Amino acid sequence: MITNGSSRFAYIDNLRLLMIIFVVMVHLAVTYSGIGSWYLVDSTELGAESLVFFGLFQSFTQAYFMGFLFLISGYFVTKSYDKKGPKKFLKDRFIRLGIPTLIYMLVIHPFIVYVLLGNMWDRPVFIKYYLVYFFSLEFLGESGPLWFAFALLLFNCFYVLYRKINKIYSSSTKKELPDWKAAIMIILLISIVTYIVRLVQPIDTAILNMQLCFFTQYIALFILGIKAGKYDWFSKLSYPIGHKWFLTALIPGILCWIVLMIGGGALDGGFDLYKGGFNWQSAAYAIWESFTAVAMSIGLISLFKEKYNRQSNLIKSLSDRSFTVYMFHAPIIITISLILMNVHMHPILKFLAACVIGFPLTFFICNYIRKIPVLNKIL
């Protein structure tokens, strides 16, 4: 999540900003759909149109957006390691990833649970609540959205270990961009391992707030990001090829999702079949999800590199604040959702209203959070 100020990588900064906007949107979508896990749910029984709208938006976005963040995070790992060395590299990663995670665990999450969502007439004295929360080590599983930063820190630690062990690590920066056959093999590999993992760790289960059901994709794309950075694959990716991948993920991919949902009975309440287990629905969903992750990654990189490799002053300002938004958006959008709780609206309209209110307010507040002493050193 380190912003690179070079204009050469403006498209990556723009993509990172877009993915973080999607993070906020997905959390608001969970609030008004009840599909997934979040601090607050303001949802009644969904009608067919709401079920399709939220189901498609959340499923399609979840299929690729976090994996894509791991991909572009991995892109800068090798060059950063080679420039800084292992000690400075790890120190920098702990400051940029570890400290924000601890702040979320120890400050932001307790604030949300105790102040925003706690029943003021039925809760223990704060110091008692906090001491139990801390000394029971409950905080280790309460990283909220910062699970990503925690996981990325772990991935970087494993990378350092790999470089330490692999003394004959090749410094060559020449390797051809993998072709479509290699992409298909990667998709199949991710699909198979994901399906196997979900036999024991289905969707909606987590260990220390990490949903291992998605981690096969995350690890694979992080490694691909490292390879892409080392061999400069992003610059070699042509727009026509990437455009085809993007359209395939977007149009046939969405149609496949609809067929899967209808054919498997998910729209009639049978979505649990896709979460894991020894059945064709789980296997088919893992294949669709893995294809979407790889196809959208190729498509978005080529599209933004060709069309959006520049930033206006406004976009640059928003991009610079993207990680701050990622870190602090939860209490802000929860407050907005609480205010809107008694407003009677269609779930889709309420979701859209929360987005319209939430985005400018979140970026506005985060602009001032970045100026707080100490925080301005890590954000």
Six token digits for residue 289 = 């999800």
Name the residue among 323, 329, 342, 321 with its Cα closest to residue 39.
329
| Residue 297 included in any domain | no
Is the pLDDT reported for residue 41 higher than 60? yes
pLDDT band at 230 (very low <50, low <70, confident <90, very high): very high
Choose between 176 and 350: higher pLDDT: 350
| Residue 30 included in any domain | yes
| Residue 355 included in any domain | yes
Name the residue among 84, 81, 100, 104 with its Cα closest to residue 155.
81
Instruction: State the burial class of residue 309 (Cβ atoms within 10 Å of its Cβ: 0-12, 13-18, 19+).
Output: middle
Choose between 272 and 142: higher pLDDT: 142
| Residue 300 included in any domain | no
- Domain membership of residue 351 as a residue range: 1-45+315-379
| Residue 32 included in any domain | yes
Q: What's the domain count of the chain? A: 1
Name the residue among 287, 286, 281 with its Cα closest to residue 264.
281
Return the pLDDT at 47: 85
Point out which residues pair with 210 in neighbouring strands: 207
Q: Are 236 and 177 in contact (CB under 8 A)?
A: yes
pLDDT band at 4 (very low <50, low <70, confident <90, very high): very low
Lowest mean pLDDT among 145-159, 250-264, 316-330: 250-264
Choose between 150 and 254: higher pLDDT: 150
How many C-beta atoms surround the C-beta of residue 176 within 10 A? 9
Residue 56's contacts (CB-CB under 8 Å, 6 or more residues apart) are 254, 257, 258
pLDDT band at 118 (very low <50, low <70, confident <90, very high): confident
| Residue 253 included in any domain | no
Return the pLDDT at 168: 67
Q: Are 323 and 99 in contact (CB under 8 A)?
A: no
Give Cα separations from 359 to 23, 153, 186, 362 (angstroms): 11, 27, 35, 5
Q: For the residues 66-72, what does the mean pLDDT come to?
A: 98
Return the pLDDT at 5: 45
| Residue 257 included in any domain | no
State the pTM of this model. Answer: 0.94
What is the distance between the alpha carbons of residues 187 and 75, in angstroms, rounded to a whole number? 19
Lowest mean pLDDT among 119-123, 133-137, 241-245, 258-262: 119-123
Lowest mean pLDDT among 14-23, 64-73, 122-131, 212-221: 122-131
Is the pLDDT reported for residue 74 higher than 50? yes
Share of the chain above pLDDT 90, in %: 75
What is the distance between the alpha carbons of residues 187 and 92, in angstroms, rounded to a whole number? 33
Rounded to the nearest integer, the mean pLDDT of the chain is: 91
Lowest mean pLDDT among 5-9, 77-81, 281-285: 5-9
| Residue 167 included in any domain | no
Share of the chain above pLDDT 70, in %: 93
